[in-house]
A and B are shown apart, each in its own frame.
Chain A
Amino acid sequence: MNVQSKKPITAAEQSLLDRYAERRKERQGNASLTALRDGLVHEFDQTGLPGRRIETWHYTDLRTLLKFVPEGFSPETGASAKPLLSDAIVLSARVGGQDSAMPEGMAVSSFNELLTSANATDLLESKRPDDFIGRVNSIFVDGGSVIDVSKGVKLEKPVELQNAASGGHLHTRMSVNIGDGAEGTFIERQIATDTADSFVSSITDLTVGKSAVVTWIISQERGDTDTHLGQINIRLGEDARLMLFIANAGGHLVRQEVHVTADGENSDFALRGVNLLGGDSHTDITMEYDHLVANCVSTETIRNVVFDRARGVFQGQIRVAQIAQKTDAKMACNTLLLSDEGEFFSKPELEIFADDVQCGHGATVADIDENHLFYLKARGISDSKARAMLVNAFISEIVEDLENEDLVEAFEQRFSEWLTRHA
């Protein structure tokens, strides 16, 4: 017999199947959309949650880690949280509605309108075989926003997109198009407005046009028992500049995927990530970057601070196509491991087919430097305060790369509050 016996279904898998069956009855979508979803669910029924045998999920084995999925769906709460920056234009990621006046040159509409359109299935078609997040989102997505920034528009105020979960399922998709030469700062906030368990998938499709300059921040602020599956799919145009800042300081089981495709020359991509990990949490940043054209620069720096029994993962894969000459890619992952029971897994991968490129990667794991600690204490700073200063110093080097005083201040404060709670 060559037939593989099917693995026993987990409670989480059963719950997802049940929820879909329930949802299918209530929902009235177009027939092709329903057919697509049925197909994805059927496939899920066969394959189940991704586990350690799938390379990209090896360190985030959902079959074991996702113990259960809450029932029910999160009610729509809109954008109700206080913005990180006081001058931000605040939008709900779910309905695309606006709470403050919309600047000229920026249009926002509801993703659900796209869902009812004829080409909805194209939007939800999964591109990668191991794309579980894409699949689960396509199966359940029922809210999101579509943002369009016109050519050459320079947004003066930052735009804050709040994706608020208050218990139960929440599946959101954002489609953002930044026109050629446009500029803006966007803060995607993944927040919890209730302590009830949430199960969230959130996908952002971001297209950065030719010569556009964008800062995109993903602030992970979910509750201690929440599961968050995030994904951002980025297309970078010629001469485009994107700073992607991931601030993970929340959630119980978190995976943030970053998929980047550079398809115009001379683009500059910077990924900066801070993972503050505590309790029994599991947090994963997985990045894939495809250099398809020549002369692009990318730098990735991830800084992790691990407390308690927390576990973290960084996977960074850079692929350089044969024609992508003069690619300059640098990746670094530095971890402060402050607990004997904490763990961090760092997996850099470079796949290079061009012969004239500069690609490098490095990873470090360390405890707090005793010489630094002694120096601070010798000036009368208490042990706990000195340790906090050194942890803050470790991450502030990354935060400063945001190069905007208000943003730096907002995230330094957010991180220092997290550290005060956990240290």
Chain B
Amino acid sequence: MLEIKNLHARIAEDGTEIIRGLDLTVKAGEVAAIMGPNGSGKSTLSYVLTGREDYEVTEGDILYNGESILEMDVSERAASGIFLAFQYPVEIPGVATMQFLKVAMNEQRKARGEDELSTPDFIRKVKEAAAELKIDMDMLKRPLNVGFSGGEKKRAEILQMALLEPNLCILDETDSGLDIDALKIVADGVNALRSPDRAIVVITHYQRLLDYIVPDSVHVLYKGRVIESGQKELALELEKNGYANIIEKAA
């Protein structure tokens, strides 16, 4: 589903290269965990995949379902089924959460040539998905993410993911700022979306999240490249020994 080939990317503003020859393949149905020390390029990778204009791809390619997405803009990529759960979801005063959800769902449906959702259908879908994630409907009456706690923000991200039904989900440090109960709820929400035709990329610092979202593969990112790939045991090893051994081995 996702093939990243020799990807090089830099910050558009000052030309600093962050991703330096990254290769990664994630198949449909697979949950891939990306781990790595601070500054290894994890969040940058999530932005480059979603097409954020602050970053420039200078070399290599990103193939999604076999086709390059480099020419697609942020909203086109999202409408084609790429979803980023933000590490820090932004608060947008004045935009009602429900209205935002409806516009997003309908814009994506429109881009795929489907009919818009009727209001009762929309509300039913939101209610169902919100109940799964233990989200109070009152929370959704507030402006988008405004005044949400850290946990509420992350649950709202997963709610959006559930409603938009993407093919490729990228979770950027979804575990940060979550207490253990919230972590379980969020992980259950993600696990519910595991399916043979969906790929999930989990970016995380810690093994903890991977106890709940068990990955099929684990990749270590360092200085903008994948320096080691393995199965879920790799994450446990990292938790025990840190990154030093692997970095040394790769050098």
Considering the complex, give the chain A residue whose CB is closest to the CB of B82. A378
**Contact in complex: B103, A374 (CB < 8 Å):** no
Indicate if the CB atoms of B90 and A382 lie closer than 8 Å. no
Partner of A393, one of B79, B95, B108: B95
A353 cross-chain contacts in B, Cβ below 8 A: none
Bound together, the chains give a CA A385 to CA B111 distance in angstroms of 13
Q: Count of chain B residues with Cβ under 8 Å from any Cβ of A?
A: 27
B3 at the interface (CB under 8 A from A): no
Flag if B90 contacts A380 (CB, 8 Å).
no
The answer to whether A390 touches B107, judged by C-beta atoms less than 8 angstroms apart, is no
A362 to B: closest C-beta gap in Å: 16
Pair A390/B75 contact, Cβ less than 8 Å = no
Determine if A382 and B94 form an interchain contact, defined as CB atoms under 8 angstroms apart.
Answer: no
Complex formed: what's the CA distance from A396 to B83 in Å?
28
Are the CB atoms of B103 and A385 closer together than 8 Å? yes
- Judge whether A411 is part of the interface by a CB distance below 8 angstroms: no
Partner of A378, one of B54, B74, B92, B93: B74
Could you tell me if A380 and B78 are in contact, using CB atoms closer than 8 angstroms? yes
Asked if A385 and B107 sit within 8 Å, CB to CB, the answer is yes
For the complex, is B246 an interface residue (Cβ under 8 Å from A)? no
**Is A389 a contact partner of B78 (Cβ separation < 8 A)?**
no
Q: A26: CB under 8 A from chain B?
A: no
Please give the distance in Å from A74's CB to the nearest CB on chain B: 38
User: What per-residue 1/0 map shows which CB atoms of A349-382 lie under 8 Å from chain B?
Assistant: 0000000000000000000011110111111111
Q: Which among A371, A380, A386, A394 is the interface contact of B94 at CB below 8 angstroms?
A: A394
Bound-complex Cα distance A385 to B78 (A): 14
Decide: A383 and B73 in contact? CB cutoff 8 A. Answer: yes
Cβ distance A344 to chain B, nearest Cβ, rounded Å = 19
Is A376 a contact of B100 with CB atoms below 8 Å? yes
Our pick among B54, B84, B94, B143 for the contact of A392 (Cβ within 8 Å) is B94
Check: B50 CB closer than 8 A to any chain A CB. Answer: yes
Q: Is the CB of A397 within 8 A of B78?
A: no
- Partner pick for B164 among A376, A379, A394, CB 8 A cutoff: A379
Known: A380-B79, A380-B164, A381-B104. A372 touches B73 (CB 8 A): no
Contact A381 to B103, CB < 8 A, known contacts A374-B74, A393-B94, A393-B95:
yes
A374 to B87, CA, bound (A): 14
Q: Does B52 contact A (CB under 8 A)?
A: yes
In the bound complex, CA of A394 to CA of B52 (Å): 23
Query: Which residues of B approach A to under 8 Å, CB–CB?
Result: 50, 52-54, 73-75, 78-79, 83-84, 86, 89-90, 92-95, 100, 103-104, 107-108, 111, 143, 160, 164
Shortest 6 CB-CB distances between A and B: which pairs?
A: A393-B94, A380-B78, A377-B74, A379-B104, A380-B79, A380-B108
| Residues in chain A within 8 A of chain B (CB atoms) | 369-372, 374-383, 385-386, 389-390, 392-397
